Amino acid sequence: MILPIFEHAGRSLNRQRVFRRLVAIHIATVGAVLVLFGHGQDRFLVERLGYTLLIAGIVEGALVLGWRLSQLPKSRSLEPLLLSPVHPPALMLGEQLVGVVQLAFLVASALPLLAGAVAFGWLDGLEVSLLVAIALLWGCFTGLALTWWAYESVIVRTWGERFSLVMVLVYLVVGGLAGEYTSRWLAAIPFGVGEWVIGGFLWFNANNPFALIHELARAQDPTVFDRIIVVHTVVAGVLVLLVLRTAFRLKGHYLDEHYRPRRSAGSSKRGKIGMHPLSWWAVRRVSQYPGRINLWLSIGVSILYASYLTLSDQWPSWLGTRIFQIFEMAGGVAGLTTVLALLASVPAVYQYGLWDSSIPDRCKRLELLLLTKLDASDYLRASWAASWHRGRGYFFAACLLWFAGVAAGRYPLAQAFCAILAGISMVGLSFAVGFRAFARSAGSTTIGFGMSVVLPLVTWGLGANGYVTIARLLPPGMVYFAATRPFHLIAFLASSIFWTGCAFVLLRTTTRTFDPDMRQWYEKSHAAR
């Protein structure tokens, strides 16, 4: 059963096209890191390369594994296979194996560049092997964990979110408010529970993948190799459990997706359809998996940091400050708000609100929509409603921090409004690029990866190597430097006007050609079927 799945995946032109683009982006990203940091200190290059490979692996795992497998049960074409003698877990195991192999080739695509860096003496061969293996393993973990979460029943996801909310609160209290006084706070908990909590928190703080890469780059801890092996052996064991659970949930999740919601639709909160039914549908589609855990964590961290900035000298002495000192070393208000603005722009550039799980499903939906009086403005409104519904929480958290910086005396109020305008400009540009990709159905995954991962990494690399003027003109740099001193108003106005104008022209062009582009894609895809 596995070989036919590999053959089908190998013949898929869409998969080949997406894979080639992701490989090109991956190689370009690794090459840029080697060029920017290869002439510096050896250990500094190891750390930056490790972080880049890990982040790229996580994002690629979410795209290649998580997105693909989570959309699989949404297609009606799966039903004949589920009714055939083919065992559903075997089918799912084959699909998972295809995704893992594809991710492995993607992560390993930059090995020739890394081998060249080893030959030049910039890197050590063993360290490169470990960094690539770590990136691959955490990419698999991210993709399979997202798939497992999507395949679980509504009851499991609901209680899982509640448990995650409790854990987020515990993490914020222990890591944020308690800080260096954590041991004092938890010592009062009876039955030794406090010691277990402290031990778990310290273990995670020292053995998460970013901390392990940092220790590997410093080369001061002789036990780091043993810790890497132990931690990732545990992660591999968890991966096996995720694979098995997801495989045996395929048929049940398919029934949940297509049949069981009809019996419980009357009790669900549908909301008011109003005058724009397509917008209502798009918002409901993205609300199925809203990602509230990440949002809660981001808002909680923003509230804590904003409180610390606002109170400043009045911060209670019995509360910790270590986590906020880490924030300051990582860029302070400017760094955290840039990350939040990027998170707000991710739903805008990927445009998942109006996407279907496969080309046949999208053809079926367009077959109905193209017969209606819906025009480009309706699709534009629906796409914006869906992306804003997913990203507004992150943007409001960034606004809170921008105004907290004003209260702390970091910069004047006018500069905070400039930072907000910079964030709006970046989100607007991401939306314009994503909407054009949606209208033309061309390279949405590649464009989203480039805008959300590659562009921020390039901006960060330029700024870290002294090319601040160029970094200031790019969208992420525009947001970052809008909350720093000194503030260069002319550079900010030039970059904001340019990128806002690009977004406006792109949206204008897309809406003018939206209907013929959609019909042309439908005719081409329908004929290919």
Q: Is the pLDDT of residue 473 over 50?
A: yes
pLDDT digits (tens, 9 = 90+) for 186-201: 666 666 666 776 777 7
pLDDT digits (tens, 9 = 90+) for 318-361: 676 777 887 888 888 999 999 999 999 988 988 755 566 567 77
Burial class (CB in 10 A: 0-12, 13-18, 19+), 284: middle
Burial class (CB in 10 A: 0-12, 13-18, 19+), 452: buried
**What are the distances in angstroms from CA 473 to CA 481, 494, 497?**
9, 8, 11
Q: Classify 440 as helix, strand or coil.
A: helix
Q: For the beta carbon of residue 118, count every other beta carbon within 10 angstroms.
A: 17
Q: Compute the distance between CA of residue 130 and CA of residue 50 in angstroms, rounded to an integer.
A: 9
Q: Which has more pLDDT, 154 or 334? A: 334
User: Which of 157-171, 250-264, 496-510 has the weakest average pLDDT?
Assistant: 250-264
Mean model confidence pLDDT for the chain: 83
Where are any strands of DSSP class E within 322-440?
none
Based on its alpha-carbon atoms, the radius of gyration of the chain, rounded to whole angstroms, reads 24
User: Can you read off the two tokens belonging to residue 311?
Assistant: 């109170």
Report which DSSP code applies to 177.
Answer: I
Residues, the chain, total? 529
Q: Is the pLDDT of residue 398 over 90?
A: yes
Of the candidates 507, 282, 523, the one whose C-alpha atom is nearest the C-alpha of residue 376 is: 507
Q: For the beta carbon of residue 489, count every other beta carbon within 10 angstroms.
A: 12
pLDDT (0 to 100) of residue 338: 94
User: Cβ distance 490 to 340 under 8 Å?
Assistant: no
Q: Classify 40 as helix, strand or coil.
A: coil
Phi, psi of 454 (to 5 degrees): -65, -50
Q: Which helix (H) or strand (E) holds 96?
A: helix 88-107
Burial class (CB in 10 A: 0-12, 13-18, 19+), 237: exposed
Q: Compute the distance between CA of residue 314 and CA of residue 271 in angstroms, rounded to an integer.
A: 44
Sign of CA dihedral 77, 79, 83, 85: positive
pLDDT digits (tens, 9 = 90+) for 5-63: 777 777 777 788 888 888 998 999 899 888 877 765 567 788 889 999 999 999 899 98
Q: Alpha helices of 108-192 — where are they, by DSSP H?
A: 111-119, 125-151, 154-171, 182-187
Q: Is the pLDDT of residue 264 over 60?
A: no
User: Which of 88-97, 186-195, 275-284, 418-427 has the weakest average pLDDT?
Assistant: 186-195
DSSP string, 401-422: HHHHHHHTTSS-HHHHHHHHHH
Q: Which has more pLDDT, 207 or 441? A: 207
Q: At which residue do the structure tokens 């000298």 appear?
A: 313
Report which DSSP code applies to 220.
Answer: -
Q: How confident is the model at residue 245 (pLDDT cuts 50, 70, 90)?
A: very high
For residue 407, give every residue at least 6 positions away whose Cβ sits within 8 Å of its Cβ, in sequence order, or none. 309, 310
Q: Compute the distance between CA of residue 147 and CA of residue 337 in angstroms, rounded to an integer.
A: 29
Q: Compute the distance between CA of residue 93 and CA of residue 250 in angstroms, rounded to an integer.
A: 10
Q: Compute the distance between CA of residue 494 and CA of residue 454 in angstroms, rounded to an integer.
A: 23
Of the candidates 271, 283, 292, the one whose C-alpha atom is nearest the C-alpha of residue 386 is: 283
Report which DSSP code applies to 110.
Answer: G
Q: Is the pLDDT of residue 267 over 60?
A: no
User: Can you read off the two tokens belonging to residue 42?
Assistant: 């050896």
Q: Compute the distance between CA of residue 14 and CA of residue 24 in angstroms, rounded to an integer.
A: 16
Please tell me whether the overall predicted TM-score, pTM, comes out greater than 0.85 for this model.
no
For residue 476, give every residue at least 6 positions away whose Cβ sits within 8 Å of its Cβ, in sequence order, or none. 338, 341, 342, 426, 455, 456, 459, 460
